[in-house]
Amino acid sequence: MRPASLARSAVWAATRPSRTFQVARPLRFFSIKAEAASDSKQKGLDPSKLTITESPSPKQLSQPETLVFGREFTDHMLAIEWTQDNGWLDPKITPYQNLSLDPATCVFHYAFECFEGMKAYKDKNGKIRLFRPDKNMARLNKSAARIALPTFEPTSFVELIKKFTKLDSRFIPSQRGYSLYLRPTMIGTQKTLGVGPPGSALLYVIASPVGPYYPTGFKAISLEATDYAVRAWPGGVGDKKLGANYAPCIVPQLQAASRGYQQNLWLFGEEEYVTEVGTMNMFVVLKDKQTGQKELITAPLDGTILEGVTRDSVLALARERLIPEGWKVTERKYTMRELDEASQEGRLVEAFGAGTAAIVSPIRKIAWKGKHVDCGLKETEESGETALRVKEWIEAIQYGEEEHEWSVQVD
């Protein structure tokens, strides 16, 4: 029952005395059902409810040198179901297994899928470490929210990932450069062809042991600037890690490969702003025309750039360690024209991609408008000095050689 005073006030605003003429509109009540909203609170992710079913047939470990990215998986997987009515159900670690989904499941039709890429490392004392897992959790939550999938409490999910990683830790090779690639994934699982928010979802994690991206040392790559397709645009979803962002990037990559380039470089707009390289963030080092001051540049997070964990780490370390050496470290827009001009004037010192897979990937040249833009490496060099230094800084933290708050111990 509504109190009389409330019922009385639910009349048309125009019936109230007023000196000026007003357009009739209903008064609006806020929080009428506040108590109902608090009743329907969904269950959050609860790591204390985890059950573990160990695999009855543990796999044989491969020789680390033979590992190919994303081909082999560990014994187990972590999975947590969500339903609109009940929230997050009890987490489960089970033997690695197929999923069974109805052909009408919404993930297959409308791409309700987002994912993360992160790694677990073994340090020289055999301890397992994660690198900035909070960043991956924040990004996954942003991606999920953008496609109407549920979000979760980040520290609870990290706790579960730690338990999963520990259980399968025998798969992490101990040599530097090797790691266990973790793939948290969320999919909409409702069986419906109706286009709407999924009423159920599955959050799961699988893991794959991986070797170094460049097993025999850096190999500088050549890029083709793509001018006929765009990866991301303002107001789009290129800053989210949605599976739907990746499939359309394969054809431009194949085209670049067919002309002898290892990756394509994504440009945006008539200005030909440089955005990302393949599935990495792009960094360049330019020398100032007048002063000769070195500037480390990457594109700003304007909605077209994925918020790379490596990107953020490179920026933070460069601000801490390069600025005292007289460098400028800048997040700003820059164009192919600017790179070309700098290259011709000998001011393009180096260029590299940055991402979890390789940490850094040095770039030799960029094919653009029928010519090659030289990115500053000598013919005999496979990496510039900055890319080498950055890789060393980040690896030292990842493998626990340098104690740092970014490296989170699992046990």
- Which residue among 198, 355, 362, 400 contacts ligand PLP (CB under 6 A)? 355
- Which residue among 91, 173, 198, 308 contacts ligand PLP (CB under 6 A)? 308
Distances (CA, A) of 381 to 65, 129, 260, 345, 387: 25, 32, 19, 20, 12
Residues that contact ligand PLP, how many (by CB under 6 A): 12
Place of tokens 């999963």: 164
Confirm or reject binding of residue 276 to ligand PLP (CB under 6 A): yes
Q: Which stretch binds ligand PLP (CB under 6 A): 141-149, 194-202, 204-212, 303-311?
A: 303-311
Distances (CA, A) of 208 to 169, 172, 183, 338: 11, 9, 8, 40
Minimum distance from residue 288 beta carbon to ligand PLP (Å): 27
- 231 and 306 Cβ atoms separated by less than 8 Å: no
Q: Which stretch binds ligand PLP (CB under 6 A): 40-48, 209-217, 276-284, 316-324?
A: 276-284
Confirm or reject binding of residue 281 to ligand PLP (CB under 6 A): yes
- Which residue among 280, 284, 318, 366 contacts ligand PLP (CB under 6 A)? 280
Q: Which of residues 109-138 bind ligand PLP (CB under 6 A)?
A: 117
Minimum distance from residue 243 beta carbon to ligand PLP (Å): 11
Q: Which two tokens stand for residue 94?
A: 């089970």
Confirm or reject binding of residue 182 to ligand PLP (CB under 6 A): no
Which 3 state secondary structure label does DSSP give 311?
Answer: helix
Q: Which stretch binds ligand PLP (CB under 6 A): 88-96, 151-159, 199-207, 277-285?
A: 277-285
Q: What is the DSSP string of 102-157?
A: -TTBHHHHH--EEE--EEEEE-TTS-EEEESHHHHHHHHHHHHHHTT-----HHHH
Helices (H) and strands (E) counted in the chain, each on its own, are 9, 19
Distances (CA, A) of 179 to 67, 96, 341, 354, 405: 11, 19, 40, 17, 19
Q: Which is nearer to ligand PLP, 131 or 204 (CB)?
A: 131
Confirm or reject binding of residue 342 to ligand PLP (CB under 6 A): no
- 183 and 356 Cβ atoms separated by less than 8 Å: no
Confirm or reject binding of residue 310 to ligand PLP (CB under 6 A): yes
Q: Which stretch binds ligand PLP (CB under 6 A): 74-82, 182-190, 198-206, 272-280?
A: 272-280
Distances (CA, A) of 176 to 74, 120, 138, 159: 20, 12, 27, 25
- Which residue among 264, 356, 361, 398 contacts ligand PLP (CB under 6 A)? 356
Given the rule CB under 6 A, which residues bind ligand PLP?
Answer: 117, 276, 279-281, 306, 308-311, 355-356
